[in-house]
Amino acid sequence: MKSLNAYKKLAQHWAELPTNYSEQNLEMSLVQPLLLSLGLNVQQIKAGHNLGANLGTPDRLVYQDINCPPVLVIENKKRDPDLAAIPEKDFAAACQSHPLYRQAVGYEDCGPKNKGIKHYLNNNVPPVLLASYGLVFNGDFFQLWRRVDGLVLPMTPIQKVTKTSLPGLMQQLEYCLQHPRTALASAIWNQKGGVAKTTNIVNIGATLALEGKQVLLIDLDPQNDLTRGVGADPNWFPGYLEQCAQKLQLEEWDEAKQILNKAIQIRKFPTTDKSKKSFKLSVLSSDEKSLRAFRDDPYAEPVAVFKKLVRLLYLDYDYIFIDVSPTPDKLTQSVLLACDTVLIPIDLGGKSLHHAVQLYSNTIPKFREVRAAKKERLHLGPWNLGIVFSNCPGDAGVVLEEHIKQALNKSNFSGNQCKTRLKTFAQTKVAEFKHVPVICWQSSPITKLYADLVKELFLNPNFIDH
């Protein structure tokens, strides 16, 4: 951690600045000193670098190593006295509709010529100029965004800069500079069973692994379908969860990480495409007895345990997918409170659609509110990746499609629906019998659908903020 005294000194300097400061004055008098106080030198801070056609020119690109891509891209805006006067409790809501904030992010309603973090973190930016994190800042609002391949999402809530909050905000920036790449932790979940939740986790993870990503699958469903589905052993390391929890409570991080490393199984899979050869998945599974004991232990704190557990694994992987029971019990709630994103699978039935709409529109936002209320300032989530139709018949028919449309309209659902629909194919069942991901068969139509879904969600440009 950098010197808190330097951060406090900067906060005192901020308190003396005019509330109607221009963007240029803010950059010279606050942004540059702010970056230097993080231990950066002037060679690590680049200004006014055009990112390419229709991608814009951010105010700053910040490097840890000038021979590597930037870690952070910054978009600054001028100060507004009216914004500065808004109480902290009302500040985030006010920012969401304020033109300065919306311009800094790059929302479409600000006009086609306006560029913001949404564009600067777009993976169409040349790799040498593509950052992992984005900051929107005007001396009053402060928010960090992150990029994982093509996916761009908020990393923190909108926060108000104050004399007391600025040192904490500096520590958030410090974290980003020290962790240029961390895993995206996701759950694929619906309270309705039978919607291919586990099948999707396995094959989305496998598709990303085939693209060269480091993928970890965590099986926290007592049925252990995920573990058996990839030919792993649910009893590989019985009791690891309890052992790890004890070490985490004692803040013995290295010992907890050693336990996790021993508990993780590596599974390798061939494909029918010789050019793509094979891929591997890491699997962390809990046996049913240990999982139920941990879940039902009145003295256990699964929320704290899973957050810390996931953080220990953040630097080892690109993607972490967590499978839990459809039951919204204490264990499931703990996982959702530890995730960055949630993908909601549904079939073409009314029950799963009802649960999906409730989860997307009400439950997930409430989980974010809980984390924000606890002053959780980094890795705020979970954010909605969307709903994905799974187990779909080849031809749903006009009548069924109309019922789905009417149900969504009746629910006033305006969230993201994945364009890719996962249809039913016999090869998926064959893969279950063989205990391998179905994408091992590269010529199968379902493999193409999973590839399309992974591109849509993670690899192609995808901006989410709700």
Residue of 351 and 154 predicted with greater confidence = 154
- SS3 of residue 214 by DSSP: coil
Cα–Cα–Cα angle for 330, 331, 334, nearest 5°? 85
Q: What is the pLDDT of residue 341?
A: 97
* Domain end marker among 131, 150, 178: 178
Q: Check whether residue 290 and residue 367 sit in a common domain.
A: yes
**Mean pLDDT over the full length of the chain:** 92
Q: What is the pLDDT of residue 299?
A: 65
* Domain end marker among 136, 151, 178: 178
User: In angstroms, what CA-CA distances link 53 with 24, 117, 120, 129, 304?
Assistant: 24, 15, 11, 13, 45
Q: Check whether residue 165 and residue 191 sit in a common domain.
A: no
Q: Check whether residue 139 and residue 218 sit in a common domain.
A: no
Q: Check whether residue 133 and residue 269 sit in a common domain.
A: no
Give the pLDDT band of residue 69 (cuts 50, 70, 90). Answer: very high
Could you tell me the CATH number of the domain that includes residue 272? 3.40.50.300
Count helices and strands (H / E) in the chain.
Answer: 20, 15
Q: What is the pLDDT of residue 392?
A: 83
Q: Is the pLDDT of residue 1 over 70?
A: no
Q: Check whether residue 168 and residue 206 sit in a common domain.
A: no
Q: Which of 32-46, 71-85, 263-277 comes out lowest in average pLDDT?
A: 263-277
Q: What is the pLDDT of residue 125?
A: 95
- SS3 of residue 23 by DSSP: helix
Q: Which of 124-128, 278-282, 296-300, 382-386 comes out lowest in average pLDDT?
A: 296-300
Q: What is the pLDDT of residue 462?
A: 97
Domain contains 173 = yes
Q: Check whether residue 193 and residue 165 sit in a common domain.
A: no
Q: What is the pLDDT of residue 124?
A: 92
Domain contains 122 = yes
What's the pLDDT tens digit per position in 260-287?
999 999 999 999 987 778 999 999 998 8
Domain count, the chain: 2
What value does the mean pLDDT take over residues 190-197? 86
Query: pTM of the entire structure?
Result: 0.95
Q: Is the pLDDT of residue 187 over 90?
A: yes
Amino acid 127 reads P
Phi/psi-derived region of residue 408, left when phi > 0, alpha when psi is between -120 and 50, beta in every other case? alpha
Q: What is the pLDDT of residue 98?
A: 97
What value does the mean pLDDT take over residues 28-51? 94
* Domain end marker among 133, 159, 178: 178
Closest CA to 340 of 371, 316, 362: 371
Q: What is the pLDDT of residue 272?
A: 92
Q: Check whether residue 250 and residue 171 sit in a common domain.
A: no
What's the pLDDT tens digit per position in 450-464?
999 999 999 999 999
Give the pLDDT band of residue 108 (cuts 50, 70, 90). Answer: very high
Burial label, 341 (beta-carbon count in 10 A; 0-12, 13-18, 19+): buried
Amino acid 46 reads K
What's the pLDDT tens digit per position in 203-244?
999 999 999 999 999 999 988 999 999 999 998 998 888 889
Q: Which domain holds residue 68?
A: 4-178
Domain contains 465 = no
Q: Check whether residue 161 and residue 248 sit in a common domain.
A: no
Domain contains 97 = yes
Both tokens assigned to 362: 């009400």
Q: What is the pLDDT of residue 2?
A: 60
Q: Check whether residue 305 and residue 158 sit in a common domain.
A: no
Q: Is the pLDDT of residue 409 over 60?
A: yes
Q: Is the pLDDT of residue 352 over 90?
A: no
Q: Where are the beta strands (DSSP E) in 169-289?
A: 184-188, 215-220, 264-270, 278-285
- Beta-bridged to residue 151, according to DSSP, are 148, 462
